[in-house]
Structure 1
Amino acid sequence: MSAENGVSQDSATVSRANVRWPGPGAVVRLERTHRRLLRRRLGVDVVERSPSGRVRVPPGRLAPAAVAALRSAVGTAHVRTDAADRLARAGGMSYLDLLHRRDDDTVDAPDAVVVPATHDEVVAVLGACEEHGIAVVPYGGGTSVVGGLGAGPDRCAITLDLSRMNALVDVDEVSQTATMQPGVTGPDAERLLGEQGLTLGHFPQSWECSTVGGWVATRSAGQLSTGVGRIDDLVVALRVATPRGTLELGRGPRSAAGPDLRELFVGSEGALGVITEVRLRVRPASTVVRYLGWSFPDFAAGLAAVRRLRQDDVAPDLLRLSDETETAVTLDLAGRPGRALRAYQRMRGHVGGCLVITGWEGTSNTTIRARRALADSVLRAEGGVPLGERVGESWLHGRYGAPYLRDALLDASLLAETLETAADWSSLAELHATVVGVLERTLSDLDTPPVVMAHVSHAYPTGASLYITVIARRLDDDPAGQWWAAKRAALEAITDLGATITHHHAVGADHRPWMTDEVGALGVEVLRAVKRTVDPAGILNPAVLIPPGE
Structure 2
Amino acid sequence: MTPERSWWGWGTTDRALSDDECVALGGLVPGLPDRPRAVPRVEDVTLPVSRLAPPSSLPVTTDPAVRASHTYGKAYRDVVRALSGDLPGAPDAVACPVTEDDVVRLLDWAGSAGVVVVPFGGGSSVVGGVEYRGDRAWLSMDLTALDRVLEVDPVSRAARIQAGALGPVLEEQVRPHGLTLRHFPQSFEFSTLGGWLATRAGGHFATLHTHIDDLVESMRFVTPAGVSESWRLPGSGAGPSPDRLFLGSEGTLGVVTEAWMRLQDRPRFKASTSVTFRDMTTATAAVREIAQAGLYPANCRLLDPGEAALSGASSSGECVLVLGVESAVHPVEGRLAELTDLAHAHGGAVAARAGARDGAAEAWRSAFLRMPYVRDGMARMSAIVETFETACTWDRVEEVYATVQAEIGAAVQEVTGAPGLVNCRFTHVYPDGAAPYLTVIAAGRLGSEVAMWDDVKTAAMEVLGRLGATVTHHHAIGRDHRPGYDRQRPEPFAVALRSVKAALDPAGILNPGVLIDPV
Tell me if both proteins adopt one fold, taking TM over 0.5 as the criterion: yes
Note the alpha carbon deviations across 1:249-305, whole angstroms, 9 max, x for none: 244111111011211111111111100001111111122222211111111111111
Equivalent residue, structure 2, for 1:526: 496
CA distance in 2, matches of 1:37, 1:108: 31
TM-score, normalised relative to structure 2: 0.93
User: What is the letter of the counterpart of residue 324 of structure 2?
Assistant: G
Structure 1 residue 263 and structure 2 residue 253: aligned? no
User: What is the letter of the counterpart of residue 410 of structure 1?
Assistant: A
Q: CA deviation at 1:520?
A: 2.5
Equivalent residue, structure 2, for 1:421: 390
User: What is the letter of the counterpart of residue 320 of structure 1?
Assistant: R
CA distance in 2, matches of 1:149, 1:229: 24
Structure 1 residue 327 and structure 2 residue 296: aligned? no
Note the alpha carbon deviations across 1:205-243, whole angstroms, 9 max, x for none: 111111111011111111114144311111110000000
CA distance in 1, matches of 2:18, 2:330: 39
User: What is the letter of the counterpart of residue 539 of structure 1?
Assistant: I
Equivalent residue, structure 2, for 1:512: 482
Equivalent residue, structure 1, for 2:101: 120
CA distance in 2, matches of 1:18, 1:241: 28
User: What is the letter of the counterpart of residue 133 of structure 2?
Assistant: G
TM-score, normalised relative to structure 1: 0.88
User: What is the letter of the counterpart of residue 240 of structure 2?
Assistant: P
Equivalent residue, structure 2, for 1:376: 340
CA distance 1:539–1:409, change in 2 (3 Å): same
User: What is the letter of the counterpart of residue 531 of structure 1?
Assistant: K
Equivalent residue, structure 1, for 2:210: 229
CA distance 1:436–1:164, change in 2 (3 Å): same
Structure 1 residue 193 and structure 2 residue 158: aligned? no
Structure 1 residue 360 and structure 2 residue 330: aligned? no
Q: CA deviation at 1:39?
A: 4.3
Q: 1:455 aligns with which of 422, 425, 436?
A: 425
CA distance 1:316–1:106, change in 2 (3 Å): closer
User: What is the letter of the counterpart of residue 420 of structure 1?
Assistant: E
Note the alpha carbon deviations across 1:410-449, whole angstroms, 9 max, x for none: 1111111111111111111111111122221112112142
**RMSD between aligned residues:** 2.0
CA distance 1:399–1:111, change in 2 (3 Å): same
Q: 2:40 aligns with which of 18, 40, 52?
A: 52
Query: Which has the larger displacement, 478-487 or 125-134?
Result: 478-487
Q: CA deviation at 1:29?
A: 3.7
CA distance 1:292–1:214, change in 2 (3 Å): same
CA distance in 1, matches of 2:225, 2:480: 28
Contact 1:417 1:470 in 2 (8 A): yes
Equivalent residue, structure 2, for 1:346: none
Q: 1:442 aligns with which of 391, 398, 411?
A: 411
CA distance in 1, matches of 2:186, 2:13: 13
Contact 2:232 2:260 in 1 (8 A): no
Equivalent residue, structure 2, for 1:162: 143
Equivalent residue, structure 1, for 2:374: 405
User: What is the letter of the counterpart of residue 142 of structure 2?
Assistant: D
CA distance in 2, matches of 1:263, 1:198: 25
User: What is the letter of the counterpart of residue 423 of structure 1?
Assistant: C
User: What is the letter of the counterpart of residue 526 of structure 1?
Assistant: A
CA distance 1:40–1:50, change in 2 (3 Å): closer
CA distance in 2, matches of 1:22, 1:155: 30
User: What is the letter of the counterpart of residue 546 of structure 1?
Assistant: I
User: What is the letter of the counterpart of residue 396 of structure 1?
Assistant: R
CA distance 1:387–1:218, change in 2 (3 Å): same
CA distance in 2, matches of 1:36, 1:412: 10
CA distance in 2, matches of 1:56, 1:202: 38
Contact 2:178 2:265 in 1 (8 A): yes
Note the alpha carbon deviations across 1:7-29, whole angstroms, 9 max, x for none: xxxxxxxxxx7221034751124
CA distance 1:210–1:27, change in 2 (3 Å): same
CA distance 1:31–1:200, change in 2 (3 Å): farther
- How many residues were matched structurally? 506
Q: CA deviation at 1:515?
A: 2.2
CA distance in 1, matches of 2:13, 2:191: 12
Equivalent residue, structure 1, for 2:9: 20
CA distance in 2, matches of 1:291, 1:101: 39
Q: 1:299 aligns with which of 280, 288, 313?
A: 280
Query: Which has the larger displacement, 509-518 or 397-406?
Result: 397-406
Q: CA deviation at 1:129?
A: 0.5
CA distance 1:528–1:105, change in 2 (3 Å): closer
User: What is the letter of the counterpart of residue 429 of structure 2?
Assistant: A
Contact 1:292 1:393 in 2 (8 A): no
CA distance in 1, matches of 2:208, 2:334: 15
Note the alpha carbon deviations across 1:189-214, whole angstroms, 9 max, x for none: 11111111111111111111111110
Equivalent residue, structure 2, for 1:11: none
Contact 1:55 1:107 in 2 (8 A): no
CA distance in 2, matches of 1:319, 1:156: 45
